[in-house]
Amino acid sequence: MYKVFVNDRPIYLTSEMVYQKDSKCIPLKEADLETIVKKVAKNKWPQVYLFYPNGELILQKFKKKIPVVVAAGGLVKNEQEEILFIKRNGKWDLPKGRVENKETIEEAAIRETEEETGVEDLEIVKPLQITYHFFKRNGKLKLKETYWFEMKTNFKGTLKPQKSEGIKKVAWKNPKKTSKALHKSYANIRELFFQEINLKPLK
């Protein structure tokens, strides 16, 4: 099962029909994504499942229904095991950005992290999960597919927020400050931490 977020609310892609009170289970072939996203965003449909019987093909079929923007980013740790955050639009986030032409996903993840934070000497440790969320650009609904990588660095220089991208602040955060920042972050970022860093879900 996959989760695709509308703001902080997930839409589930499932290969099994779901029969639950107050939930919608819609065949993927019949799904009007514009309408569904509007309903979920306005909290009119509390829980939505998009059904396709073949679990191995469901994501592929889903992505054929909507333009996809591929992005990549980093969950960066320094020598003190602090994690690198950016602050944009009043939310704490992780650095990420669009994959450009003739660029590998790994190259994009490192480039975007460097550009958005000023941190150098980044090294990829391992790939993490892929997150999905809806967004609108020029009035058109799109899907952002973000590939995440755990990274490490021994960088001790000055952090430089990329102001041209609306980034107001860059900061290293210890576990306590990380947990606090996640209260003011996005659901897909919290999910990344819960699955990869083994933090307990926030109440």
Each residue of 41-87: pLDDT tens digit?
999 998 999 999 999 999 999 999 999 999 999 999 999 999 999 99
- State pLDDT tens for residues 6-46: 999 999 999 999 998 889 999 999 999 999 999 999 999 98
pLDDT of amino acid 35: 97
Same domain, yes or no: 19 and 87:
no
Same domain, yes or no: 107 and 180:
yes
Q: How many domains is the chain partitioned into structurally?
A: 2
Does residue 103 fall inside a structural domain?
yes
pLDDT of amino acid 48: 97
d(CA 128, CA 141): 26
Does residue 164 fall inside a structural domain?
yes
d(CA 49, CA 19): 10
- Domain range holding 44? 2-63
Amino acid letter, residue 195: Q
Q: Which region, left, alpha or beta, applies to residue 165 given φ > 0 means left and ψ of -120 to 50 means alpha?
A: alpha
pLDDT of amino acid 202: 44
Same domain, yes or no: 59 and 76:
no
- State pLDDT tens for residues 82-126: 999 999 999 999 999 999 989 999 999 999 999 999 999 999 999
Same domain, yes or no: 80 and 35:
no
**Which residues, in sequence order, are CB contacts of 153 under 8 Å at separation 6+?**
76, 77, 78, 119, 120, 121, 122, 123
